[in-house]
Amino acid sequence: MAERIVVDPVTRIEGHLRVEVELENHVIKNAYSSGTCVRGIELIVQDRDPRDVWAFVQRICGVCTTTHALASLRSVEYALDIKIPRNAHLIRDIMNATIWIHDHIVHFYHLHALDWVDVVSCLSADPAETSKIAQSISDWPNSSPGYFANVQQKVQKIVDSGQLGIFANGYWGHEAYKLPPEVNLLAVAHYLEALEWQKEIVQIHAIFGGKNPHPHYVVGGMATPLDNNSDNAVHIERLMHVSRLIDEATDFVNKVYVPDVIAIAGFYKDATYGGGLSNYMSYGDFSKGDIRDVDQYRVPRGVIINGNLEDVQDVDPTLHTDVQEFIDKSWYKYGNTDSGEGRHPWEGSTEFNYTGPKSAYTQLDVEQKYSWLKTPRLRNEPMEVGPLARIMIAYAKGDADVKQLVDDTLKKLDLPITALHSALGRTAARALEAVLAAKWMREDMDELLNNIKNGNKITFDRTKWEPSSWPSGEAKGVGWVEAPRGALGHWIVIEDGKTKNYQAVVPTTWNASPRDNNGVIGAYEASLVGTPMVNEEQPLELLRVIHSFDPCLACAVHLTDLESNKQIDIRLG
């Protein structure tokens, strides 16, 4: 077998991922991505009351908790034909926008920035120069030379202590780092500010959902009592608090996050790698009307094949052809067969069939099954989902807000639209859509406040709460959500008031899937091919590409590989 570099686990992600790549002349020639732990959430909700399922599935992941709850609710409401009240729709969208912004900012600063920012280099920065740069790109108030000098001292203290913590695994001084020390210092300062900021924003979930993590929802709307006259309800003070958090989030996105991304990208214009498939899919979400009104989605639905922006195709999650999961390279079986068959999630199953190595191994046998992730395909095509997919589809569909944001950004950087097909493009797309999410959150909150002012406090429709009101026989539902990481779908089959079958196809499964029945590679694998690696023992560029997707395998997999105590294992061979 060819020489392979193994990165297992990929750190600074949520969950457990293994990547193996083959190199030729310092360029990645071939790549394999493997989820190395198993998930079985579908099995836990079997036979349960569909009204309870959301509460179980939101525990798939502590990070994406609310998006799984939302997808589950929508699947049940689809199956039972329940239309939720306007206020409930607004609250759900505000909560989803909250998780978008929280996730995107935590991803950029705390999971991804250190691939582009050299922390140690910031120690040699001139704080006065950093201050000048900061003031030239934003009117964010924390920008004095003294402020940046203070940050520098904090980092110095950590370095002096010898306990580098999360900074210990960095490839500091790697030649692929291009930022001047002063910009590194700016980014590190905002790393700290973002940590502080993100503590507050999730209070929006705690207020509307009663608690966080794992806020309360209900099939048919929201369990949020809107009442100014009760201390136990969501009263005006709490609503004003939400309002203030939304404004602070908007400020942080526009004055810190976006200027930082643009400033950093300016030094990495030659980092054009990491694009990959150029196939993009979005189910769409954030409807101005109801979730059924697909034509009113603020995140449009669509599919782009081979980067062709002239032809945006459609996707329908209820169609057998549009979402099919293959298991040719996955440790599952479908009844008596373990390959060649793609199943739509309504007919899907979760039957483990581990055929991989029984003990420690040096590299995966990719001729056989090699991942705990299944392989979803849309009309036999692999898809990338997530921020870049959404931005490309909205741009191609001529969405005015997206066009303006994208064109302005590209103009500042003097780059063509094709530059977005890259790791850095993915990272930039995430920042741009945070701008939009903040705007929608403000719009939705204003509408909610207005409704309450006019006496509309309804958040729950109970007409179909009782199972006696449900259709007899079998009812099928699908709930789709544009989650921070991309298109999320939950499919449910209800029979006699119980959950007969349940399947979730999560964004990271689309992106990190192994090869399909035709040997076609998935989004992670494709994005790695062609990526240069100047130092193969320090796979910085590989991490940039993988991190640019914001992998979250907590939902895709469950940690069972407990014997390895190592943080990271990079091997040749």
Partner 1 sequence: MKNNYGHIIVMGIGNTLYTDEGLGIHILPYVKEALKQNGLTDVEVYEGSTDSMSLLAPIDRADYLLVVDAIKAGKAPGEIIALTEEEIPKYFSTKLSVHQVGFQEVLFAARLLEQLPKEMAMIGAQPYSLELGVELSKGMKEKLPKMLDMIVAQVKRWRA
Q: Would you tell me which residues interact with partner 1 (CB under 8 A)?
A: 14-16, 40-41, 43-44, 56, 59-63, 65, 102, 106, 110, 154, 158, 163, 165-166, 192, 195-196, 198-200, 202, 211-214, 553-554, 558-560, 562, 564-567
Separation CA 319–CA 76 (nearest Å): 17
In total, the chain counts a number of residues equal to: 573
Separation CA 236–CA 208 (nearest Å): 12
**Identity at 493, one-letter amino acid code:** V
In the bound complex, what is the minimum distance in angstroms from residue 123's beta carbon to partner 1? 15
Q: What are phi and psi of 198, to 5 degrees?
A: -65, -15
* CB of 76 or CB of 155, closer to partner 1: 155
* CB of 194 or CB of 424, closer to partner 1: 194
* CB of 472 or CB of 565, closer to partner 1: 565
* CB of 474 or CB of 569, closer to partner 1: 569
In the bound complex, what is the minimum distance in angstroms from residue 9's beta carbon to partner 1? 9
For the CA atoms of 157, 161, 167, 173, the dihedral, rounded to the nearest 10 degrees, stands at: 80
| Residues with Cβ within 8 Å of residue 513, at least 6 apart in sequence | 33, 371, 373, 374, 375, 376, 382, 522, 523
In the bound complex, what is the minimum distance in angstroms from residue 14's beta carbon to partner 1? 6
In the bound complex, what is the minimum distance in angstroms from residue 214's beta carbon to partner 1? 6
* CB of 158 or CB of 309, closer to partner 1: 158
In the bound complex, what is the minimum distance in angstroms from residue 186's beta carbon to partner 1? 16
For the CA atoms of 420, 17, 376, 403, the dihedral, rounded to the nearest 10 degrees, stands at: -20
Structure tokens at 187: 């980014």
* CB of 453 or CB of 566, closer to partner 1: 566
Query: Strand 17-24 relative to strand 4-7: parallel, antiparallel, unpaired?
Result: antiparallel
Task: Return the biggest CA–CA distance within the chain.
Answer: 72
Going by the DSSP 8-state scheme, the letter that residue 252 receives in this structure is H
The angle subtended at Cα 34 by Cα 29 and Cα 40, nearest 5°, is 160
CB 408 within 8 A of CB 256: no
* CB of 213 or CB of 497, closer to partner 1: 213
| Residues with Cβ within 8 Å of residue 56, at least 6 apart in sequence | 41, 44, 45, 48
Hunting for tokens 């494709």 — which residue is that? 526
* CB of 110 or CB of 442, closer to partner 1: 110
**Identity at 530, one-letter amino acid code:** G
